Amino acid sequence: MNMLKRVLTGLVVGGLMSANVAISADVKIGYVDVNSGIENTQAYQKGKLALDKLRTKLEKELSALRDQIVQGQNEFRSQQLTMSTERRYQKENELKELTKSFQRKSQDAEEEWQKSRSSLGENVAADFFKAAEQYGKDNQFDLVIPKSNTIYVNSAFDITDEVVKLVDKKK
């Protein structure tokens, strides 16, 4: 997404500077607040709810495993003086394996959540950029740029809401 922004900005700025284009009063320009627009689409909101459910599920699984480790540690502490050396060694190894399992599952859960989050953002962003392009073409805009690449822009040129409606309409 950042690469697309940089390329688009470079093309726009470079084209305007190298061609010494005089912008006339009939040039139609619009901008979109990409981050806000993406976050306000129905697809993103629905995906965010799914991400929240996934995180809750993963946290619940990890919490159960953490509770199992704590319970095992408490039992070990209370019984270690009466355990045989062999049983103590066995119990320590079981706790180490549970801890390793917890760490692996914790890392896997974080990676799964991050991957899902990234996928959601990329998919919705792709739809948003397509819709912005289509809106620009359908409404005879000469230029549609991301707001983040501007220093100042009059809010009258903001077409973010219209693009969000177009994205939502297509889904």
Tokens 């019984």 correspond to 79
Task: Pick the more confident residue, 135 or 170.
Answer: 135
Whole-model pTM above 0.75?
Answer: no
pLDDT of residue 80: 87
Q: How do residues 23-76 score in pLDDT, each as one tens digit?
A: 556 899 999 999 999 999 999 999 999 999 999 999 999 999 999 999 999 998
Tokens 């619940």 correspond to 60
At 170, the pLDDT band (50, 70, 90 cuts) reads: confident
Q: Are 88 and 118 in contact (CB under 8 A)?
A: no
Q: What is the mean pLDDT of the chain?
A: 87
Other CB atoms closer than 10 Å to residue 129's CB: what's the count? 22
* Tokens encoding 141: 């805009």
Give the helix, strand, coil percentages of the chain, each rounded to 5. Answer: 80, 5, 15
List, in order of start, the domains of the chain with CATH numbers: 2-170 (3.30.910.20)
pLDDT of residue 67: 95
